[in-house]
């Protein structure tokens, strides 16, 4: 509907069924040969993949003045697939590709290391950056000056809360290891209205 924020419904649907192996950002449309060299792939395979992405409305295909077909991101891809976009799903897709699928097929490799925790927290960030504001404003929380986020993970939802409710503060409750990781990678001292309380469940 007009005036509403874009929602990446198609991309979220594709994520459930496709293994995204590489996302290439460019400031200009690129040809099959340019992309094949950049990605280290065959031109035939690259062209097939690009045309599939065109049919999925993830890429545009146009002919340049020299008669060469060049490819560029659609608006949806620019907003939700480029790594630099504030609403990027890059980390979510990367986590699904490299971790979640491996968890299903290679359960012995599904180890909860510190690196995997950071990847998972990036995943949570990418989701809450898109729909977090809708969640925290579904009910008017402005009467509550202190909001508690149980299992707040990376603090992404807490950031949405303090943005939507400027008079409120948020306390994140989570496991000690999660709190330390969040403070190291996601919530900076400048986020003065977000605090942490760590603990263990019984």
pLDDT at 25: 53
Answer whether CATH 3.10.580.10 is correct for domain 136-198. no
Contact yes or no for 87/11 (Cβ under 8 A): no
Residue 105's pLDDT band, with cuts at 50, 70 and 90, is low
pLDDT at 123: 84
Q: What is the DSSP string of 87-107?
A: T--HHHHHHIIIIIHHHHH-G
Of 48-52, 66-70, 166-170, the one with minimum mean pLDDT is 48-52
Of 3-17, 25-39, 131-145, the one with minimum mean pLDDT is 3-17
Q: Would you say residue 90 has pLDDT above 70? A: yes
Q: Would you say residue 13 has pLDDT above 60? A: no
pLDDT at 104: 60
Q: Which residues pair with 70 in a beta bridge?
A: 31, 62
Highest-scoring range by mean pLDDT, 7-16, 53-62, 154-163: 154-163
Alpha-carbon distance values, 180 to 44, 108, 112, 140, 194 (Å):
47, 26, 16, 30, 14
pTM score above 0.85: no
Q: Which residue has the tokens 């994140």?
A: 172
9-95: CATH, from 3.30.70.260, 3.40.50.1360, 1.10.10.10, 2.160.10.10: 1.10.10.10
Highest-scoring range by mean pLDDT, 3-17, 95-109, 119-133: 119-133
Beta strands in the chain (DSSP E): 30-31, 59-63, 69-73, 146-150, 169-174, 194-198
Task: Answer with the residue of higher pLDDT: 53 or 180.
Answer: 180
pLDDT at 41: 81
pLDDT at 110: 45
Contact yes or no for 71/50 (Cβ under 8 A): yes
- Going from N- to C-terminal start, the domains of the chain cover 9-95, 136-198
Task: Answer with the residue of higher pLDDT: 179 or 83.
Answer: 179
Beta strands at 69-73 and 146-150: parallel, antiparallel or unpaired: unpaired
Note whether 9-95 and 136-198 share their fold.
no
Burial class for 11, CB neighbours closer than 10 Å (0-12, 13-18, 19+)? buried
Task: Answer with the residue of higher pLDDT: 187 or 57.
Answer: 187
pLDDT at 59: 85
Q: Which residue has the tokens 């490819």?
A: 71
Return the H-helix or E-strand segment holding 188: none
Contact yes or no for 29/64 (Cβ under 8 A): yes
Residue 5's pLDDT band, with cuts at 50, 70 and 90, is low
Residue 69's pLDDT band, with cuts at 50, 70 and 90, is very high
Q: Which long-range contacts (CB under 8 A, 24 or more apart) does 107-112 make?
A: none
């Amino acid at each position: 509907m007009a005036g509403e924020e874009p929602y990446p419904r198609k991309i979220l649907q594709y994520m459930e069924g496709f293994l995204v192996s590489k996302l290439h950002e460019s400031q200009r449309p690129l040809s099959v040969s340019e992309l094949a060299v950049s990605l280290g792939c065959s031109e035939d395979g690259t062209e097939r993949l690009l045309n599939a992405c065109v049919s999925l409305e993830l890429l545009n295909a146009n002919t340049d003045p020299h008669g060469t077909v060049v490819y560029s991101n659609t608006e949806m891809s620019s907003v939700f697939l480029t790594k630099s976009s504030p609403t990027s799903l890059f980390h979510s897709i990367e986590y699904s590709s490299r971790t979640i699928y491996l968890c299903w097929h290679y359960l012995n490799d599904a180890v909860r290391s510190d690196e995997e925790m950071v990847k998972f927290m990036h995943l949570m960030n990418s989701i809450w950056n898109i729909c977090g504001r809708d969640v925290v404003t579904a009910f008017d929380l402005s009467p509550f000056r202190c909001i508690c986020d149980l299992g707040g993970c990376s603090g992404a939802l807490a950031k949405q809360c303090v943005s939507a409710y400027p008079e409120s503060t948020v306390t994140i409750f989570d496991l000690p290891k999660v709190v330390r990781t969040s403070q190291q990678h996601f919530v900076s001292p400048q986020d003065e209205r977000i605090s942490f309380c760590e603990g263990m469940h019984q």
